Amino acid sequence: MSGPSPFATWWAMYALATGVLSVGLDSADHEVLSRIALALACAAWLVAATGLAQRAHGAWRAEVAAALTAVATTAVLGTGFSAAGPQPLAEALLALAMLLWAALLGVRVTERRGTVFLRCVATQGLAVLGATLAAAAAVAWLAHAALVLFWLGLALYGRALFRFQPRQVEEGRGDHWLAAGALALSALAGAKLLSADSARLYLWNEENTDALRTTSVMLLVLALVACVALFLAELFWPRPQYDVRRWSTVFAAVVTAAATLAVAAALDVPWLGVAGEALLWVAVAAWLGCTVWALASARARRSRVRSRARR
């Protein structure tokens, strides 16, 4: 069986990182930049979907990681569109993401790298979109369904953590950062569930609210600690070569910033919001840096191919 396509993997993870960047920018009230990022994410999502569809009748099992990434991206794009206004489009994306998620959840993958966390990422992406739509449309059952997905996502994270090989912190090419990114996306989902509650809906009682608050804060702290630990690991074991999996690192940075902003808003903690915006601009710098790195790598690869062709 052939391996996964770098083409589909690159575009799927780029779309996910860029889509979450759009959500984070919208949370920080940078609407123009958010819409630009959303448009880029949509374009990348379409390219990734085309690449996956071309292999659907062949080595589709080799593309499970890219497909799960596409599920998370679909949910994140729906969250972005919900913030922009068109709720029917966001609802359609939620339905599409749910169908793809259900089809992929039972597919067995023996992977032990960072991609083992993608089931959690896809599930929490659905929870984020479900909670966002529940708040926008004042639909209580959607928020309760999102809550189930939230707890399921945490269970999937625990399962993945036992399968993850710790040596990937030393040897991984970027996708090991999904261990931190999945935690941050879970914190974002928890914050969205808290923010979805209102006097109109009355979703959670005091006990449920306290549990969500405690869990969201704990997840955010764990995500921040994981990011610091992985950053220090990069200093000890440098990986200077570009790899498509580096977009997982960017995703972790972007979603941690978005989660910090969301938790700050849900808990009404102004200083945490300031920290979240600072992290957001660090994430923007990481996104820009990885984009330049990818373009430079592609240019160098073309130059090598041309020089070989001339020989």
Q: What band does 109 get if pLDDT is binned at 50, 70 and 90? A: low
Residue 2 backbone class (left: φ over 0; alpha: ψ -120 to 50; beta: rest): beta
Number of Cβ within 10 Å of residue 26's Cβ equals 22
With respect to residue 1, please indicate whether it lies within any of the assigned structural domains.
Answer: no
User: What is the number of domains present in the chain?
Assistant: 1
Range with lowest mean pLDDT among 47-61, 93-107, 168-182, 204-218? 47-61
Per-residue confidence at 84, pLDDT binned at 50, 70, 90? confident
Residue 61 has pLDDT above 60, yes or no: no
Q: Is 155 helix (H, G, I), strand (E, B) or coil?
A: helix
What pLDDT digit, counting tens, does each position of 67-83 carry? 899 999 999 999 999 98
**pLDDT, position 298:** 76
No. of helices (H) and no. of strands (E), the chain: 11, 0
Which comes out higher in pLDDT, residue 63 or 307?
Answer: 63
Residue 75 lies in a domain: yes
Query: Residue 56: pLDDT band by 50, 70, 90 thresholds?
Result: low
Asked whether residue 152 is domain-assigned, the answer is yes
6-42 pLDDT per residue, tens: 667 788 899 999 999 999 999 999 999 999 999 999 9
Provide the terminal-to-terminal Cα distance of the chain, rounded to the nearest Å.
33
CATH code, domain with 187: 1.50.10.150
Structure token pair of residue 240: 């200077």
Q: How far is CA 203 from CA 68, 199, 209, 284, in A?
A: 29, 9, 9, 34
**What pLDDT was estimated at residue 171?**
87
pLDDT at position 74 is 96
Can you give the residue range of the structural domain that contains 18?
6-301
Q: Is 90 exceeded by the pLDDT of residue 272?
A: yes
Average pLDDT, the chain: 89
pTM: 0.93
- CB-based contact 177:248 (threshold 8 Å): yes
CA–CA–CA angle 286, 291, 295 (5° rounding)? 150
Is 115 part of any domain? yes
